[in-house]
Structure 1
Amino acid sequence: MLAVRWYLRYALSYRDIEELLAERGLLVDHVTVHRWVQRFTPLLIDAARPCRRISGDRWFVDETYAKVSGRWVYLYRAVDQFGQVIDVLASEHRDLAAARRFFTRALSHGRRPVEVTTDQAASYPRVLDELLPAARHVDARRANNRVESDHSQLKARLRPMRGLKRLRSAQTVSSGHAFVQNIRRGHYELGVDADPHLRVSAAFTELALAI
């Protein structure tokens, strides 16, 4: 749990985690750390799902990029008006099918938004008409600054990785980063009695018992 938490929380490489663990007398290969992150991150997210607070009703949706095996892929992301990351989807394509898949996933988390702000990609109006016909769609220029500025934190986390090998890894890491970000921002009923600086640590301790 310590290795996974460090990796998702800080801009560290797998080799950095290997070295930090060695300083604590724990000899673990960086490949093992990678396997831990891929294995336990989805389990932690699933275990924490009942503790997640209801999202807001105004969503800001946009795509950013990550490099996977030398190629750029898209990361669809949505945040609400309170800064909660609703969901993340890694996709090789930026098209109607990817947008539909993203919104279908995001809507499975609970509240349906009354307003959705996106960029001016042609796929969004079609998907919103299909899945959220009652929601107001905003695509004015600069209206999506909230999620665009939020991308910078994910990009800062991805930078030390120097590219990912598989789309699945991009999905796991970006979802795990969003998960930790949401804990830090108080969007889970986890670690609520802990000092804010220790909230993520306390949350992972609680979740370790659940998985």
Structure 2
Amino acid sequence: MTISFKGAHFPKDVILYAVFFYLRYGVSNRDLEEIMAERGVELDHATLNRWVSRYAGLVADAWRHKKRPTDRSRRMDETYVKVKGEWVYLYGAIGKHGKTLDFMLSERRNKAAATKFFACALEMNGFARKIVIDKSGANTAGIKAINKMLKGFGDPIPIEMVRQKYLNNIIEQEHRFIKRRIRPMLGFRSFDSAASALAGIELVNMIRKGQFTPELSPFQQFVQLVG
């Protein structure tokens, strides 16, 4: 998957540098506007907003196309994020060793949302042997729905569901990291822009954790994913 920058009024590297810096370091739009000006690039914060909304999610999608199956023992949880004054829900899944596996922003926290997230995570990461969740009824119902689907496809072995909150401390720490990153952003104005920015933040967090090519600089890894 190659991301097109056709029609952009700035070079590709300038756009990607601004987007990466914003996602990785949690600066405000106006702070980044000043940082770019110090590097000889005159922008306004509205342009930066558009870049993050347009490109952050696309880079994350490019990563999804390159991802390979991974840990079969997983941790899953969701957290709250405010968009236009309303709470929405960021679902996340990591492997037992802390590697990010998948994420999804949802307007609802219910069986349908949990089932969709589990299905997407299985499609991208391969079959799960065990999934650790908290005692959420929606997540429990979601895994049961997935097991029913798997049985219908001829798989007689269900995914083991472990409902123990303390085992999910590692993913709760991931959520705290994400919330620290979005705090300077002062909220999101639309669901789509929130989904794009959060996908980008999750992606640069994966780079920070060494999930790609750590011999390259973090920014070089980010650019490499663009294609």
Same fold at TM > 0.5 = yes
Structure 1 stretches of 5 or more lacking a match? none
Match of 2:167 in 1: 143
Match of 1:68 in 2: 83
Structure 1 192/150 Cα, relative in aligned 2: closer, same or farther at 3 Å?
Answer: closer
Counting only pairs closer than 5 Å after superposition, residues 144-159 of structure 1 correspond to structure 2 as 144-159=168-183
User: How far is the alpha carbon of 1:50 from its aligned partner?
Assistant: 4.9
Match of 1:162 in 2: 186
Q: How many residues align?
A: 203
Query: Residue 69 of structure 1 contacts residue 165 of structure 1 at CA under 8 Å; is this kept in 2?
Result: yes
Provide the rounded CA distance (Å) in 2 between the counterparts of 1:118 and 1:182.
Answer: 21
Work out the percentage of aligned pairs sharing the same amino acid: 36
2:99 maps to amino acid: Q
Is the radius of gyration larger for structure 1 or structure 2? Answer: 2
2:191 maps to amino acid: L
Match of 1:41 in 2: 56
4+ long deviations beyond 6 Å: none
Match of 1:90 in 2: 105
Provide the rounded CA distance (Å) in 2 between the counterparts of 1:116 and 1:174.
Answer: 23
Match of 2:123 in 1: 108
SS in structure 2 at match of 1:176: helix
Structure 1 20/71 Cα, relative in aligned 2: closer, same or farther at 3 Å?
Answer: same
Structure 2 stretches of 5 or more lacking a match? 1-15, 149-157
Structure 2 residue 25 is the aligned partner of structure 1 residue 17: no
Provide the rounded CA distance (Å) in 1 between the counterparts of 2:187 and 2:171.
Answer: 22
Query: Residue 52 of structure 1 contacts residue 187 of structure 1 at CA under 8 Å; is this kept in 2?
Result: no
User: How far is the alpha carbon of 1:52 from its aligned partner?
Assistant: 3.3
Give the root-mean-square deviation of aligned CA atoms.
Answer: 1.7
Query: Residue 77 of structure 2 contacts residue 171 of structure 2 at CA under 8 Å; is this kept in 1?
Result: yes
Structure 2-normalised TM-score? 0.83
Provide the rounded CA distance (Å) in 1 between the counterparts of 2:98 and 2:209.
Answer: 8
SS in structure 1 at match of 2:125: coil
Structure 2 residue 98 is the aligned partner of structure 1 residue 80: no
Query: Residue 75 of structure 1 contacts residue 90 of structure 1 at CA under 8 Å; is this kept in 2?
Result: yes
1:169 maps to amino acid: S
